[in-house]
Structure 1
Amino acid sequence: MLNRRETRMVGLAALGAMLEFYDFVVYLFVATALGDAFFPPDVAPWTRQVQTFAIFAIGYLVRPIAGIVMAHFGDVIGRKKMFIFLIVLMAVPTFLIGVLPTYAQAGILAPVALLALRALQGCAVGGELPGAAVFASEHASPTRLGASSGTLHGVVHLGLVLGTGAAALSSVIAVKAGMPSLAWRLPFLAGGVFGLVAAWLRRHLEESPLYAEIRQSNQLSATTPLRAVLTEHAGACMFGLALMFVMAIFSTVFFQFVPAMLTTAYQIPRQDVLHANMLGTLGLAVSMPLWGRVGDLLGWARVLALGAAVNLLVAVWFFHTLPGVLAAHDTLAMPFCVVGVAVAIVIAQVPGLTASLFPTRVRQSGYAVPYNVGAALFAGLSPVTLSWLVRDFGTSAPLYPVLVAAVVTACLAWKVARMPLYLGIHAKRRASVSAQTAEPHGMPDYTKEI
């Protein structure tokens, strides 16, 4: 697996990314309490819910542009500096949300302040995961890039479990203390404090050796990194966007939409669904380092082909078995855990593979473009699209986009075997194609970028 140095670098990168993921999604777990605190009490409950989720959506709306801008500076001034800045940018607004005055105390200024802080959170998270993925990938040995990728993504996804647990614990504390506001204040306060601690720990990280090398030899991009990505690496962007589509569909269908569907269409108690979803997410996170290592052994093409076949079969089994499980009142945990392990085959490869698509001089911008555009298009629009499918085609309709995602994964497996890559053991293939794809602006050939 990873050696001591790689474990330290990936661990600190993943810890910060996990806390940012937690800070970003914990809003969702305390949304009802936030609605009660930040909007007039005489407003209908459904109106407060819409207003609360509208503020939540602001974080997603600012992500594409903000994430690409943050990545630009990661390519221009260095990975480490932006790495520290981004976690501070997330931690400070998160902490401030925890101490905001309520509508009863500040009137309309309360939701306006919440909106502004939520927008800052969106700016931070849009740049954090691309930065963490690139940083960890550039520190990883070529033979352990997959293990680094899977470990990073596994720890990051623990942020979902952490957010759910923090919301549940804060609710219990609020009831025992007789202070309802603690139900939403504590998760934000804790996230802000831990984020600042993680920022302090990141001071001890070393700059990416690949970035330090091109900076020292004055081989940074001669043009704007975003322009270079879109003009010189458009094919890599499209491949990355397709990879984000697959990740968004697998994650959104099984761990966001299906749980909501179970509580509405099947009237399953929310607590039972939440428990099953947490265990499934835990299975997803824990198995990702293993699948990342499998990627090192098999190669990107074979592991994506395996992921396509397994997820196709598991998805058909899941939706075929689900009605029987619900009718028999059996536990939902087992189906969700099986899905989590299956989805992890593909998702574990995403950070390392996406980082491998682009050269060092524009790698962070290259990662940020498909990641943030994909998050806005696919993760943002999937719930609405799935709701329409269920309305018109029934509760088995979420199976269809999963099958499409499995087919797209198979196509990516075929394509990646024919693409030049910049990181990992398969980057050696670049030497044979360097003459056709030589980098402009005095860049060294591909064999020197490993």
Structure 2
Amino acid sequence: MNTRADVRDISDQSSTQQVTSSYHKLVIASSLGSAIEHYDFFIYAFTAPIVFDRFFFPKMDSVASMLAVYATFAVGFVARPLGGIVFGHFGDRFGRKAMLTITFAMMGAASFMIGCLPSYDSIGLLAPICLVALRFLQGFAFGGEYMNAVALTLENAPSRRRGFFASWINASGPVGVIAASGLIALLGVFFSQEVFASWVWRIPFVLSFVLVLLGSYIRLQVDESTLFKATQRAGQGQKAPLLTVLRSWKKPVLFGCLVNMAHSTFQYMSTVFVLGYAVRTLLMPQSSVTFGTMLANVLEMFMVPVIAYYSDRFGRRPFIAAGIILAALWYPVFFQLLATKDPLLLILGLVVSIGFIHALMFAPEAAFTSELFPTDVRVSGSSLGKQLGIILGGGIAPLVGTALIGSTGNFSSVIVYFEIIAVLALIGILFAPEASKKALS
């Protein structure tokens, strides 16, 4: 494996870099864009399990329609690696900033159009076909967004605070989840479930248009990565960065994939799958799950920068490993809490799962994945590793969970499914390099 990304100690870089006002603007722009894209992505995740089966797949029985809903959810994750490859290539070739503007507009447009879609009863099969196409566009844009934003932030960050500043991209994710779950919970209070399923669900999607206009304006004000510009001036850019990654950086891609597979499976099984199961099967109120998810993400929003700050001091791997171990131990307990059908215990379970355990894995992940690669292939390599992990983890988790529950009728198979993923990820993180103290190349 090529090791250019970790051959120099961090002391070789300036340790006296100052956090300028322009850098603060860059962090805010990257974080705000990430928050809005998470909002766009999660309004689908929170709405689909309780509305879209009847709206887009009314001709199927209840289990089949839920599988169809989760399959359309998974389509967005299938598109993520493709978006990561395409926008990673152009991000490494032409810069991170331009790609962020394009992906942002694509995500917002897709979300807005989902909110305007007619039902199956109105236009027949064209309705679910359009839903799948727009869901694909969402995932394609989201896949190209994340690592370009991380790279832009990381490459301009003070050397000894890379993890902290990169984590603001991840910390902004819960902001988008909070906004999505909070708005849906609020609408659920003022409107009955029947009215919500009839037309109110469209409101959060249509609001994306306003958010995209705001975010686009802010993002146009930031500068390109200084490290990327230095690499380009030195003539070190790659004409085919993905091919370089596949030829020389396969192990870092695997490490990034395993870590992201573990944290995303844990996150989406604990939220999206639980939302559908609690409301549909256990007949629990929708507001309990959405409120619990919102509360958990408020906590995670604050926990992520704190954990990332300490990862700059003690390394990324210890925190990620601790999160994986705790997730594996906690998962059986969480499902026992869910089985009680007690809304307060469910909220407690969500807070522990997302606010604490997921935060341990998620906080250092942005820097960890990005630091595995050098500047000339950073976005391509990190996007490929991350998005493969997301699709193999969170992307199919609700679908797999629903299929396993449907075939066995109990949680045991779902728990075993996650434990296998956790073991693989723990092995990966134990063999992965620790690059937090190394200079970026």
Which TM bucket (shorter chain)?
A: 0.7 to 0.9
Counterpart position of 1:347 = 362
**Which of 360, 377, 383 is the matching residue for 2:392?**
377
Counterpart position of 2:303 = 287
The 5-angstrom pairing of residues 359-438 of structure 1 reads 359-387=374-402, 389-390=404-405, 391-392=407-408, 394-416=410-432, 419=433, 421=435, 424=436, 426-428=437-439
Deviation at 1:53, TM superposition (A): 5.0
**Which of 154, 158, 161 is the matching residue for 2:175?**
158
The 5-angstrom pairing of residues 166-185 of structure 1 reads 166-170=183-187, 182-185=199-202
Deviations 1:301-335 (A, max 9, x none): 33234334444444465456666xx3877543223
The 5-angstrom pairing of residues 8-47 of structure 1 reads 8-31=25-48, 33=51, 43=59, 46=62
Deviation at 1:226, TM superposition (A): 0.7
Deviations 1:98-140 (A, max 9, x none): 3445566666555544443333222211111122222222122
Counterpart position of 1:334 = 348
Deviation at 1:355, TM superposition (A): 0.4
Further displaced range: 95-104 or 71-80: 95-104
Residues in 2 aligned to 1:139 and 1:284: alpha-carbon distance in whole angstroms? 25
Retained in 2: the 8 A contact 1:9–1:136? yes
Counterpart position of 1:133 = 150
Aligned-CA RMSD value = 3.3
Deviation at 1:358, TM superposition (A): 0.6
Residues in 1 aligned to 2:148 and 2:255: alpha-carbon distance in whole angstroms? 19
The alignment partner of 1:139 has SS state of coil
Structure 1 residue runs without a partner (length 5+) = 429-448
The 5-angstrom pairing of residues 104-115 of structure 1 reads 109-115=126-132
Residues in 2 aligned to 1:304 and 1:109: alpha-carbon distance in whole angstroms? 43
Counterpart position of 2:230 = 213
Deviation at 1:386, TM superposition (A): 3.4
* Equivalent position amino acid for 1:363 in 2: R
Structure 2 residue runs without a partner (length 5+) = 1-17
* Equivalent position amino acid for 1:291 in 2: I
The 5-angstrom pairing of residues 213-292 of structure 1 reads 213-221=230-238, 223-263=239-279, 266-292=282-308
Deviation at 1:204, TM superposition (A): 0.6
**Which of 72, 78, 84 is the matching residue for 1:67?**
84
Deviation at 1:35, TM superposition (A): 5.7
Residues in 1 aligned to 2:253 and 2:222: alpha-carbon distance in whole angstroms? 29
Structure 2 CA distance for partners of 1:327 and 1:25, relative to 1, 3 Å? closer
Retained in 2: the 8 A contact 1:139–1:208? yes
Deviation at 1:52, TM superposition (A): 5.2
Retained in 1: the 8 A contact 2:282–2:341? no
Structure 2 CA distance for partners of 1:119 and 1:331, relative to 1, 3 Å? closer
Residues in 1 aligned to 2:44 and 2:422: alpha-carbon distance in whole angstroms? 31
Structure with larger Rg: 1
Retained in 2: the 8 A contact 1:154–1:289? yes
Retained in 2: the 8 A contact 1:99–1:185? yes
Deviation at 1:349, TM superposition (A): 1.1
Structure 2 CA distance for partners of 1:189 and 1:316, relative to 1, 3 Å? closer
Deviation at 1:281, TM superposition (A): 3.1
Retained in 2: the 8 A contact 1:171–1:183? no
TM-score normalized by the length of structure 2: 0.82
Counterpart position of 2:9 = none
Q: Percent identity?
A: 28
Retained in 2: the 8 A contact 1:86–1:128? yes
Deviation at 1:233, TM superposition (A): 0.5
1:356 aligns with 2:371: yes
Residues in 2 aligned to 1:336 and 1:171: alpha-carbon distance in whole angstroms? 19
Residues in 1 aligned to 2:246 and 2:70: alpha-carbon distance in whole angstroms? 33
Retained in 2: the 8 A contact 1:170–1:187? no
The alignment partner of 1:220 has SS state of coil
Counterpart position of 2:10 = none
Retained in 2: the 8 A contact 1:15–1:155? yes
Further displaced range: 355-364 or 268-277: 268-277
